[in-house]
Chains A and B, each alone.
Chain A
């Protein structure tokens, strides 16, 4: 390690302040600080600091994503081979998925980090770590067969319009990963919906039943999967959204490390369950619903991208509500609206994406009203204090 350190110091020499390549220092620093936590000491304020930094926080999210990611690779292979009716082994399935999925990750990181580095150099700040998570999330919520150039274009849109246009990390209003998905969804709908895209190379096969469960429900078709299949995630869908079980494993890590907000996750699931229960109660009120409204409420929680969206997207601290009370409201409405969009608008079976983006937009408003109550309390205190003075005088 000592040797690497010395080499790095040597390499960094021309990038030092006042030297020839000073401007490009953020790029080199990004690589350096990836290998070593720097030797910076506190100069002002508190002399000691917490061990946590943004890199740690972001890497923890990446770790939380790994179970769902690996499962997604395997499931991609599984869906492919089982739909074709071919015999296959565990490793063949995983290999098939990996061959499809790893290029997506590489493209996402290369394009996204390229833009991030360019902006860091252009704006003269260090490279923020946020894209480590975003860059992994984007391929995970896309169909496995999405052409790589579309993925790249979505990444460009998400990073430029979704993030940098607002001032970079920490300032964006929308979750960048969902911005990418929304872009792809509306720009290339044929690649993002229907019953041909969710199973790897499905378009080559004639009689494939590659619909997602939400798609089947919306179309009024029979769902051929059991509840446990849905929970384990052995169903067609975006690469890593299917396995509720492994998403919950990731959620557990996020909650235990206090990186993800349990308030948002819990309230979002409660919101989704509440909306689904309302729909389930329709027949009792004399309204005949459809397959989607009658789908059991617990089923709503485990199908589609709801769990993935709630655990990994809704909890993005930048685009979520920032106050504690606000988080409860924000989460609840995400769950509530997700199921509502699902049921009322079968053209967009994946409601969670739109629900989260919508709530991203409203999060500052929620915070505003939460904070306003604090401000009102303070103003009231002044009034009562002056009133006291008057009565004593």
Chain B
């Protein structure tokens, strides 16, 4: 049974530098890194010391406040370094990889016919709990909770987003097994959202409620889909899993191994080898992109929500995409004149870019202005297809007014849902951060 979701409001940015549909096996990186900051609000506690030998699937660290939540090594090798930041916060756990992976054997298991508690234990001990995110708050799920539903979005609408159909086409069996496992974790439904491309391969997946999603970005955001399908109320917990991570969970049950293989699309106007690469989680970004200088920004993820990387750093845990765009640290004379610099996209009509709806733009990282007070109204609603008042919610977050945030729907949103709002904002306010800080406040005050 499938239900259709049509999103009307939003904005699909068309950018230069889509990845070619060709899958290449990436060379094996020398080192792999798991970065605790990829898991928001996690306080890691190491179990191994530098120099320890690990197998793929061996525990590296766990969550200080939820010790069932384990994080395991994606490869086998030697724990080379624990990089720490301010206040000795663990920033990166770096593993020097063996030439070949040796996996820790968890034992095969048929998820569909197994006991729910056993499935949960298997997911947690293998480190697959890290793939499961919780809404509200957009943080790693607490295994003690029982979610009212689990959502998987195989819809790509983000700018230059990888095509889920292409990534998943050979992984359908693992995906099915992963869904069977996830079904054991919730008394509710597992919702799977697909677009035209992923529907070709996923339309026959059993045990899910299938939703055909159409519309501009952020239609592919799982938060928007949750809002349309089964909105989050105060006190609810729902979980979300990325589609390819479902296949990793599936493979765990099929093979008994934690095979942390992922497909990463290299995109963006400055990338020269724009292809899909098969990597292992935490690989070095330098292994799949061309050598670039300071004037190119490497983003792990898409241009709206991704994380800035240096050339010698590792790809983020959840990324299925690396984007390379030019830095924009240049001045533009009289850049404020309306109808000039029409090569820069604008959702407003003060640039003539709207006359070219099919043009692919080549954006830079220039802020195109300076931060100002919030003045313009109505622009945010145009790109947020939720029954939420964005400007009022943002102001409530800025003021730290918990009751107001709750009333205005803070539980239903995550920073990524506000990425487009941030993009179109005339006043150049860092809105994703405002929402994140608002959510953090809710975590400490409400939990």
Contact = CB atoms under 8 A, between A and B. Distances in A.
B440 interface: no
B215 interface: no
Contact of B377 (A41, A45, A128, A317): A317
Contact of B336 (A53, A256, A378): A53
Nearest to B432: A45
Interface stretch (A54-62, A103-111, A180-188): A54-62
A52 B426 contact: yes
Contact of B367 (A42, A56, A60, A323): A42
Contact of A46 (B234, B304, B392): B304
Contacts of B387: 374, 377
A381 B388 CA distance: 14
Interface residues of B, number: 76
A51 B345 contact: yes
B420 to A, nearest CB: 8
A363 B304 CA distance: 33
B331 A48 contact: no
B81 interface: no
B353 interface: yes
Contact of B389 (A37, A168, A371): A371
Nearest to A47: B303
Interface string B298-318: 010001111010000000000
Contacts of B425: 49-50
Interface in A37-82: 37-42, 44-57, 59-60, 63
A36 interface: yes
B336 A63 contact: no
Contact of A35 (B329, B334, B389): B334
B47 interface: no
Interface in A201-219: none
A38 B327 contact: no
Contacts of A56: 336-338, 348, 350, 369, 426
Interface string A252-269: 000011110100000000
B348 A57 contact: yes
A169 interface: yes
A323 B346 contact: no
Interface string B279-313: 00000000000000000010100011110100000
B310 to A, nearest CB: 14
A40 B336 contact: no
Nearest to A386: B233
Nearest to B409: A378
Interface in B222-254: 231, 233-234, 236
A382 B381 contact: no
Contacts of B420: 46
A377 to B, nearest CB: 7
Contact of B378 (A33, A53, A261): A261
B431 A45 contact: yes
A318 interface: yes
B370 A46 contact: no
A278 interface: no
A169 B423 CA distance: 21
Contacts of A323: 389
A35 B431 CA distance: 27
A34 B346 CA distance: 20
Contacts of A385: 233, 236
A102 interface: no
B373 A44 contact: no
A171 B363 CA distance: 32
Contacts of B349: 256-259
A210 to B, nearest CB: 37
A115 to B, nearest CB: 16
A53 B303 contact: no
Given A41-B365, A48-B363, A53-B428, A59 B372 contact: no
A52 B372 CA distance: 12
Contacts of A63: 338
Interface in A1-57: 1, 4-5, 33-42, 44-57
28 contacts: A1-B333, A5-B331, A38-B331, A39-B331, A39-B366, A41-B328, A41-B329, A42-B365, A46-B423, A47-B299, A47-B365, A48-B365, A49-B422, A50-B424, A51-B353, A52-B347, A52-B350, A53-B368, A57-B426, A59-B336, A60-B338, A170-B372, A257-B349, A258-B348, A259-B376, A371-B392, A375-B408, A382-B233
Interface of A: 1, 4-5, 33-42, 44-57, 59-60, 63, 126, 128-130, 168-171, 256-259, 261, 317-318, 320, 322-324, 327, 367, 371, 374-375, 377-379, 381-382, 385
Interface of B: 13, 231, 233-234, 236, 297, 299, 303-306, 308, 323, 325, 327-338, 341, 344-351, 353, 363-379, 381, 387-389, 391-392, 407-409, 415, 419-420, 422-428, 430-433
Top 4 closest pairs, chain A to chain B, by CB? A53-B369, A37-B335, A170-B373, A55-B336
Given A51-B351, A60-B338, 10 more contacts: A40-B366, A42-B366, A44-B432, A47-B323, A48-B13, A50-B425, A53-B426, A170-B375, A256-B349, A261-B377
